[in-house]
Chain A
Amino acid sequence: MTTQDFLAELDAYLYGLSPEERESAVNYYREYLEEAGGDADAVMHSLGSPEAVAQRILAELGTRSAYAGSASQAAAASVQAAAYTTPTTKKPRVGLLILLTVLLFPFWITALALWFGFEAALAGTVIGLAGTAVVAGLESIGYLFDVGLAGETIWYTGISLFALGLTLLLWKPFGLAIKYTTKWTFKGFGKIIRAILGKERA
C-alpha cells in the first residue's frame, strides 16, 4: 500500500466526522509519514491499518455511535468518557424548529424581506438603466428620421449612451453583490436551522 492509498483509506473511514476534522487528521498523518522519510513504509506498517487508525480517532473525537463496534473500544470509550466530556449525538429538535419558526415569524420574515428588497433594488437599477438605454436609443433613431440631426436627436442619443455606459459599468458588480448576498443569506438561515436542530458538527 502506498502512503497515498493509506491516507485515502483513512479519509474514507473517517466519514462520520466533519470535513474539518477529517482534513486535520489526514494532514497530520500525511505529515507524519513525510517525517518518517525513507522509513515511511515501516512507520505505515507500525501504525496499523487505516481502519484501526481511524477507529482510534473516532473513539476519541467522534460520536458514540461511531465506536460502538468492539468490546475493547467500548471499554476504552468508557475510560475516556469518565475522564472527559465526550460529544454525544442528539435527536434533531424538529419540534423546537417549528415552534421557533412560528414564534419568530416577524423577525425572520423581516430579514427575508430586507434581503429581497436589497436584491430587487440592485436588479431593478440595472434593468432600469438597460431599459432606458434601449428606449432612449429607439427614440433618438426616431428623431433622426423625423427631424434629422437636431437637438432632440442628440439629447436622446446622449441619454441612451449614458444609460448604456452605466449599465455596462454596474451589471457585473451588482450581479456579484446579488450572488454573494444571496449565498450568505441562505447559508446564514441554514446555520441557524442547523443550530436549532442541534445537529452535531464534531
Chain B
Amino acid sequence: MFPISAALLDAMVLALVSREETYGYKITQDIQTAAHVSESTLYPVLRRLQKNGALETFDRAYLGRNRRYYRITEEGRSMLMQYRIDWALHKTQVDSVLLDAASIERREDQ
C-alpha cells in the first residue's frame, strides 16, 4: 500500500546485512516479509551499495556451489545510523499527524 522509496530500501538492506553476513536470496526473502518489492529489485540495490562502499562481498562454498555473502562496512554502518535517525524523525512526524489527534490540537492552540 505504501510504496518503499529507494532510500528506505537501502536502509532496510543495510539493517539486514548489519545483523549477520547474509546472501542475496535470503535478503530478498527477509525484505519481502516487511515490504512488497518485486524479486528483481534487490540485485541493483545490493550492487550499488557494494559500489558505494557500504557493503562488501565474499564467496563461501555451500553444498558444492558458491554463495556470495554480503557484509556491512564501517561506511555502511554510519550510513545505516544516519538512515535510522532520519527514519525515526520521519516516523514521528507522520505519526504526529496520523495517530495522535491531540498533538494537532496542541499545535493549533499555540
Contact = CB atoms under 8 A, between A and B. Distances in A.
A45 to B, nearest CB: 10
Which of A35, A48, A59, A83: most chain B CB closer than 10 A? A35
Nearest to B28: A32
Given A31-B24, A31-B67, A31-B68, A83 B6 contact: yes
Nearest to A54: B40
Chain B residues touching A, majority SS: helix
Contact of A56 (B23, B28, B44, B66): B44
Looking at B6, B28, B40, which has the most chain A CB atoms within 10 Å of its CB?
B40
A25 B25 contact: no
A122 interface: no
Contacts, number: 60
Interface residues on B, range: 20 to 34
Contacts of B43: 25, 28-29, 32, 56-57
The number of chain A residues touching the other chain, given as a range, is 20 to 34
18 contacts: A31-B23, A31-B25, A35-B25, A35-B67, A36-B25, A46-B38, A47-B39, A48-B38, A52-B40, A53-B40, A56-B40, A57-B43, A57-B47, A60-B47, A60-B48, A61-B47, A79-B5, A84-B6
A29 B28 CA distance: 12
A91 to B, nearest CB: 24
Interface of A: 21, 24-25, 27-29, 31-32, 34-36, 43, 46-48, 52-53, 56-57, 59-61, 79-80, 83-84
A180 to B, nearest CB: 29
A59 B47 CA distance: 13
Contact of A31 (B39, B41, B66): B66
A84 B5 CA distance: 13
Contacts of B40: 47-48, 52-53, 56
B48 A61 contact: yes
B45 interface: yes
B54 to A, nearest CB: 12
Interface of B: 5-7, 23-26, 28, 38-41, 43-48, 65-68
A32 B67 CA distance: 9
Contacts of A24: 47
B38 A32 contact: no
Contacts of A84: 6, 48
A34 B26 CA distance: 12
Contacts of B41: 56
